[in-house]
Amino acid sequence: MQVNPPVFFTSAGLTLAFAGLAALFPVQAKSIFDTVQAEIVREFGWFYIASVAGFLGFAIFLMLSRYGDVRLGPDDSEPDYSYLSWFAMLFSAGMGIGLIFFGVAEPLQHYATPPVGEGKTIEAAQRAMVLTFFHWGVHAWAIYIVVGLALAYFAFRRGLPLTVRSALHPLIGDRINGPIGHAIDIFAVLGTIFGVATSLGLGVLQVNAGFSHLFGIPTSTPVQILLITLITACATLSVVSGLDRGIKILSELNIVLAVLLLAFVLATGSTVFLLQAFVQNLGAYLGAVVERTLQTYAYRPNEWLGTWTLFYWGWWIAWSPFVGMFIARISRGRTIREFVTGVLLVPVLFTFFWMTVFGNTAIEMDRAGTVALSAIVKDDMPVALFAMLGHLPFGTIASGLATLLVIFFFVTSADSGALVIDMITSGAAEDPPVWQRVFWVLAGGAIAAVLLMAGGLEALQTAAIVSALPFALIMIFICYGLLRALQSEGRSGGLDLSRNAGSPGGLSWQQRLAAITHSYGKEDLQAFLDGTAAPALEAVAEQMREGGLSPEIRRSVERVDLIVPYGDRGAFRYGIRVRGLRNPSFAWAENPSKSSDERHYRALVQTSEGDRAHDVTGYSRDRVIDDLLKRYAQFRAVRGAA
């Protein structure tokens, strides 16, 4: 065993106790769930609304403030991934069961029965998309930013364990290793496991609906329990096998299948209308986001707030240790400004496009009378997706693809979620035994099963809302602790090593694109350094010597520098070095060190002026010289002529 005993045994005991009691007394459990949800919505709904608004404000503040220049790592650290790879993995973090389950169901629900106003009108259709964007937009990712940013900062810059308790070190110091820290991690574990269980429960509802649509299998709780058992068994086999590459392939396949499904609906639906709707939906969302953020329906109470907004805020908060830890692990070396901007924009824009394509297609089908989707979604939310796909060309194939996609998401979510919980309960142990992860996979499946037995979708919603309440309080302290830590170090700068600041003139756009996207090996870059970069700098140095200057060439295995002394004004330096970047992985690597050699290499330039490093991979000898002379001219212009 490699566990933190107070955290592991308390979390495991509470999880098993909940699962056992809910399984033995499902009727009483449902009654308790209904009562608890009603009380929390009535007494603490305002707290969820205010907290999430505060998290978004905090994220934007960090992005715009002087703290945005602080690196998630030492000052000289560099991103492990290029921008393209990083954006691709952020995109993958935004994918999940929820998009499949709610992509059609939620817009239709808001269209048919809006929180205020008349349903099934053009205005209701427009408001439905704004409400959907609101629930899946920047607020959700601001929650992930708070947790992910704190984990990355304290782990990579302050050297603390990659656990939630580390974020409170500025407030309570080494007491994070005592009972207070244990309690924080326990709440994080319980929130995560209920967040995972909510996703798994939604997933199995969708799979059951898909099998019912395709094969006529009945939709019932026993069938759903059987499906959870079978798919959880697949996730367990994946954990036991320890084949990181298998999960990696499955995760990447998820992304491919999701994009194919999206492209299919976009192409077979009203393509031009959907593109127009996306632009208009985005504008309407931006215009309404402030009012929606603080809307509590104080003057017109209704059940809609608890059923939708508070459920989402609870789900995102409960899910935040998982997503936050993933985006933290892939963001080492980024600045806070890069982190917040990338996480707020990349997955959000894709999610908005997904919701537009699926939601507006479904609403237009209902408005046109093609199929009464609003009536279907009222009776059975998971079926709505397959009813919509069934009225598109090749609808049966698309329905099968959607069902397969949910199954794959189920397996990867269960596996990755169990790894996050295992990391927290083991005190961030690097290689805990497999049985611990298997235990948490089975626990997540068990919680999902008993929640379905004790109330189905309503029980899943209650679990998300309730489990998030204590962790929302912890997140407030996380924000304060992070701010205290940033204030203690002041301003810090850094180089953006992913941006191509040079203009590769003289190349066709096809050549430029090939140079950017081609994956170079270390030998390729060594040959570039020896055969192109070093001779280019030598040629410039020789010409400078003839002009009376005293340049120096410094050479190492993976670097070549040209240094030109400039009297009391300092020296000009132009350095080209070979740097390895990790290839993107859409899976949660069980042991990141195993894939440390899976890199592609680039030639990056850094000058003495502290400007942003830029990529010269694939440049010709003359192009390298041209880039060098531009930098040297800028240096002389700033320092003054000799």
**Domain ranges (residues) in the chain:** 5-489, 509-639
- For residue 249, is pLDDT > 80? no
Q: Which residue has the tokens 């099998």?
A: 211
pLDDT at 290: 93
Which of 610, 549, 616 lies closest to 579, judged by CA? Answer: 616
- For residue 423, is pLDDT > 70? yes
Q: Which CATH number fits domain 5-489: 1.20.1740, 1.25.40, 1.10.150, 1.10.1760?
A: 1.20.1740
- For residue 406, is pLDDT > 60? yes
Whole-angstrom Cα distance, residue 237 to residue 231?
Answer: 10
pLDDT at 491: 38
- For residue 594, is pLDDT > 80? no
The residues pairing with 363 across neighbouring beta strands, listed in sequence order, are: none
Average pLDDT (296-301) is 89
Percent of the chain with pLDDT over 90: 44
Indicate the pLDDT class of residue 494, thresholds 50, 70 and 90. Answer: very low
pLDDT at 145: 96
CB pairs under 8 A, 24+ apart, for 15-18? 15/190, 15/193, 15/443, 15/447, 16/443, 18/447, 18/450
Count of beta carbons in the 10 Å neighbourhood of residue 171:
15
pLDDT at 400: 92
Indicate the pLDDT class of residue 246, thresholds 50, 70 and 90. Answer: low
Whole-angstrom Cα distance, residue 481 to residue 176?
Answer: 12
Give the strand order in the sheet containing 559-565.
552-556, 559-565, 571-582, 599-607, 614-615
More confident residue, 502 or 234: 234
Whole-angstrom Cα distance, residue 368 to residue 510?
Answer: 45
Whole-angstrom Cα distance, residue 116 to residue 224?
Answer: 34
pLDDT at 381: 87
pLDDT at 493: 36
Q: What Cα–Cα distance (Å) separates residue 551 from each residue in 512, 538, 608, 625?
A: 31, 10, 14, 15
State pLDDT tens for residues 308-325: 999 999 999 988 998 898
Average pLDDT (1-10) is 87
71: left (phi over 0), alpha (psi -120 to 50) or beta: beta
Contact partners, residue 294, CB within 8 Å, separation at least 6: 49, 50, 53
Which of 336, 350, 634 lies closest to 492, judged by CA? Answer: 336
The dihedrals phi and psi of 616, each to the nearest 5 degrees, come to -120, 20
pLDDT at 524: 86
**DSSP letter, residue 166:** G
Q: Is 605 helix (H, G, I), strand (E, B) or coil?
A: strand
Q: What Cα–Cα distance (Å) separates residue 91 from each residue in 77, 323, 343, 553, 582?
A: 24, 12, 9, 43, 17
Angle 135-138-143 from CA coordinates, rounded to 5°:
90
pLDDT at 133: 97
Contact partners, residue 412, CB within 8 Å, separation at least 6: 247, 250, 251, 254, 587
Q: Which two tokens stand for residue 229?
A: 């058992």
Q: What Cα–Cα distance (Å) separates residue 367 from each residue in 267, 373, 612?
A: 20, 9, 52
pLDDT at 588: 62
pLDDT at 113: 93
- For residue 507, is pLDDT > 90? no
Round the CA-based radius of gyration of the chain to a whole number and report it. Answer: 27
Strands 614-615, 559-565: pairing is: unpaired
Cβ atoms of 452 and 198 within 8 Å: the answer is no
Cβ atoms of 625 and 633 within 8 Å: the answer is no
Whole-angstrom Cα distance, residue 314 to residue 439?
Answer: 25
Q: Is 602 helix (H, G, I), strand (E, B) or coil?
A: strand
- Run of H or E including 564: strand 559-565
Whole-number average pLDDT of the chain: 86
Whole-angstrom Cα distance, residue 141 to residue 182?
Answer: 26
Alpha helices, DSSP H, located in 113-220: 122-136, 138-152, 169-172, 179-215
pLDDT at 490: 47
AA identity, residue 207: V
pLDDT at 587: 67
Percent of the chain with pLDDT over 70: 90
Indicate the pLDDT class of residue 500, thresholds 50, 70 and 90. Answer: very low
- Run of H or E including 559: strand 559-565
Cβ atoms of 587 and 416 within 8 Å: the answer is yes
Contact partners, residue 72, CB within 8 Å, separation at least 6: 149, 152, 153, 156, 157, 328, 331, 332, 333, 334, 335, 336, 339
**DSSP letter, residue 569:** G
Which of 178, 180, 177, 181 lies closest to 164, judged by CA? Answer: 181
Q: Which residue has the tokens 């209902």?
A: 366
Average pLDDT (288-308) is 91
pLDDT at 109: 94
Of 195-199, 361-365, 593-597, the range with the highest mean pLDDT is 361-365
User: Environment class of residue 512 by beta-carbon count within 10 Å: exposed (0-12), middle (13-18) or buried (19+)?
Assistant: middle
Q: What Cα–Cα distance (Å) separates residue 271 from each residue in 99, 274, 278?
A: 20, 5, 11
pLDDT at 592: 54
Alpha helices, DSSP H, located in 216-243: 221-241
pLDDT at 36: 84
Cβ atoms of 142 and 52 within 8 Å: the answer is yes
- For residue 474, is pLDDT > 90? yes
The residues pairing with 578 across neighbouring beta strands, listed in sequence order, are: 603
Q: For the whole model, what pTM was predicted?
A: 0.79
User: Environment class of residue 316 by beta-carbon count within 10 Å: exposed (0-12), middle (13-18) or buried (19+)?
Assistant: buried
Average pLDDT (623-638) is 88
DSSP code string of 48-114: HHHHHHHHHHHHHHHHHSGGGG-BSS-TT---SS-HHHHHHHHHHHT-SHHHHHHHHHHHHHHHHS-
Cβ atoms of 305 and 115 within 8 Å: the answer is yes
Strands 552-556, 571-582: pairing is: unpaired
Alpha helices, DSSP H, located in 269-335: 271-293, 304-307, 309-329
